[in-house]
């Protein structure tokens, strides 16, 4: 079976459906295990955005993740960014949307725009 | 985010207390403001508004931009009756991030074997509800069909600010219920809060289908503001 690099990289930690409660608890648990962890949060949306402001995605240094910031459209890019945040500890604000030059790769097909804040758990 | 801050935020959630995480998005500086501390915070007014709306969001203050992560307590569903419908409802509710508690004084029904994943209290509702505390993030669902058990729970729910009250039973059963509650001193405004017959009308037949209709009605009450046809 052909598997893309993207699919290989993005391994959800838990195949079960995760809730808001699980997501931040998982972030805490992962950090206590000594893993590098970042939290991505949707801070602003325009138009028809798939996930509301305040939605979280947590990522560890091995690209395991839980939660979502979109309907699966930009998670890959957020996870890549999160690895840099875990590495250097500097929070970042990233924006996705149809106006984005990378729209064809990681844009939101729904036509919405979102801003995502990514921070490391120290 | 400091781990201690994340840990405090999770602790507030577990204790069913509201809290706001304030993040200066330019500097990354953060603080956690618990519900009881809001009044003394420099952003008191903004925090109060955000808590009232229950919505996270960005605010601008003196040229600085802050993101407010608003954490309302998890929504809880208190189910009266450890019955077949409740067995179907408990696992579905978990998937919706709803905290379920089952109450039924009949010890043959209220067993952990029948409800492996949620707290089951073999107590009378009027004895145990004051302890649990019904707040505005709570839904109360009466499913025993037995007025001796359901009525005290409905009375406690009507006296609280819970956001949803539902009671199983036909229209006839509900008429008799309204009669009893009238004698107990309740009026039209109270009866309007009770969803009876319980659940959205999807023609549900099986316990699982009835559970879907009840949970759908709870979500509809919770998300009232977003509904296209209120």
CATH of the domain at B157: 3.40.50.720
And the tokens for A79? 């996870």
Which pLDDT score is estimated for A100? 52
Residue A91 in contact with partner chain B when CB distance is under 8 A: yes
Residue A19 in contact with partner chain B when CB distance is under 8 A: yes
CB A39 within 8 A of CB A25: no
A54–B55 CB contact, under 8 Å: yes
Same domain as B137, residue B56:
no
Residue of A25, A53, A90 with shortest CB distance to B55: A53
Q: Count up the domains in chain A and report the number.
A: 1
Lowest mean pLDDT among B15-24, B45-54, B74-83, B177-186: B45-54
Same domain as B180, residue B101:
yes
**Of B22, B53, B71, which residue constitutes the final position of a domain?**
B71
Cβ-count burial A59-93 (b if 16+ within 10 Å, e if not): bbeebbbbbbbbeebbbbbbbebbbebbeeeebbe
Same domain as B196, residue B92:
yes
Q: Is the pLDDT of residue B4 over 50?
A: yes
* Higher pLDDT pick, B173 / A1: B173
B58–A43 CB contact, under 8 Å: yes
Which chain A residue's Cα is nearest to B73?
A: A21
Residue B134 gets which letter from DSSP?
-
Which chain A residue's Cα is nearest to B20?
A: A54
Average pLDDT (B22-26) is 94
**Of B11, B43, B71, which residue constitutes the final position of a domain?**
B71
**Of B71, B101, B130, which residue constitutes the final position of a domain?**
B71
Q: Is the pLDDT of residue B192 over 80?
A: yes
Which pLDDT score is estimated for A3? 38
* Higher pLDDT pick, B225 / A89: A89
Question: Which residues form the domain of B145?
Answer: 76-226
Confidence of residue B228 (pLDDT cuts 50, 70, 90): confident
Q: Is the pLDDT of residue A15 over 50?
A: no
Give the predicted TM-score (pTM) of the model.
Answer: 0.77
Which pLDDT score is estimated for B69? 94
**Residue of B67, B77, B93, B100 to mutate, interface with A, max A Cβ within 10 Å:** B67
pLDDT tens, residue by residue, A60-101 = 999 999 999 887 778 889 999 999 999 999 999 999 875 555
Chain A residues with CB under 8 Å of B25 CB are 43, 91, 93, 117
Residue B130 burial (10 A CB sphere; 0-12, 13-18, 19+): exposed
Distance of residue A45 Cα from the nearest chain B Cα, in angstroms = 10
Nearest-10 crossing angle of helices B3-14, A20-32: 140
Average pLDDT (B3-32) is 93
pLDDT tens, residue by residue, B151-171 = 999 999 999 999 999 999 999
B2–A122 CB contact, under 8 Å: yes
Q: Which helix (H) or strand (E) holds B59?
A: strand B57-61
Residues 6+ apart with CB under 8 A from B77: B89, B93, B98, B99, B100, B101, B138, B139, B140, B141, B218
Which pLDDT score is estimated for A13? 44
Q: Which helix (H) or strand (E) holds B199?
A: none
Question: Which residues form the domain of A116?
Answer: 5-120
Average pLDDT (A14-21) is 59
Coil, strand or helix at A18: coil
Residue of A19, A21, A117 with shortest CB distance to B67: A117
Residue B74 burial (10 A CB sphere; 0-12, 13-18, 19+): middle
Average pLDDT (B23-33) is 94
Average pLDDT (B209-226) is 93
């Amino acid at each position: 079976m052909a598997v893309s690099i993207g699919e290989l990289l993005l391994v959800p930690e838990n195949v079960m459906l995760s809730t808001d409660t699980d997501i931040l608890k998982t972030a805490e648990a992962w950090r206590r295990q000594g893993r590098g962890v970042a939290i991505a949060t949707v801070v602003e949306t325009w138009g028809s955005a798939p996930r509301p402001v305040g939605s979280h995605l947590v990522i560890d240094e091995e690209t395991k993740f839980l939660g979502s910031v979109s309907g699966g459209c930009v998670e890959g890019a957020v996870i890549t960014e999160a690895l840099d945040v875990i590495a250097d500890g500097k929070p970042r604000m990233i924006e996705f949307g149809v106006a984005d030059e990378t729209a064809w790769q990681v844009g939101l097909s729904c036509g919405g725009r979102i801003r995502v804040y990514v921070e490391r758990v120290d | 985010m400091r781990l201690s801050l994340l840990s405090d935020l999770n602790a507030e959630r577990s204790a069913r207390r509201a809290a706001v995480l304030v993040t200066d998005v330019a500097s990354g500086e953060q603080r956690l403001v618990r519900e009881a501390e809001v009044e003394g915070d420099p952003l008191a007014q903004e925090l109060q508004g955000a808590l009232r709306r229950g919505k996270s969001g960005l605010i601008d203050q003196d040229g600085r931009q802050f993101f407010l992560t608003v954490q309302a307590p998890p929504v809880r569903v208190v189910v009266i009756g450890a019955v077949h419908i409740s067995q179907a409802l408990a696992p579905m509710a978990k998937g919706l991030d709803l905290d379920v508690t089952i109450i039924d004084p009949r010890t043959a029904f209220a067993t952990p074997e029948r409800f492996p994943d949620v707290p089951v209290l073999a107590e009378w509702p009027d004895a145990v509800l004051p302890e649990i505390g019904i707040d505005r993030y709570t839904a109360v669902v009466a499913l025993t069909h037995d007025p001796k058990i359901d009525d005290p729970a409905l009375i406690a729910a009507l006296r609280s600010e819970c956001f949803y009250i539902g009671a199983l039973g036909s229209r006839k059963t509900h008429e008799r219920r309204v009669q009893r509650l009238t004698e107990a001193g309740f009026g039209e405004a109270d009866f309007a809060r009770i969803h009876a017959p319980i659940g959205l009308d999807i023609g549900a037949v099986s316990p699982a289908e009835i559970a879907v209709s009840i949970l759908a009605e709870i979500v509809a009450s919770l998300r009232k503001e977003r509904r296209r046809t209120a």
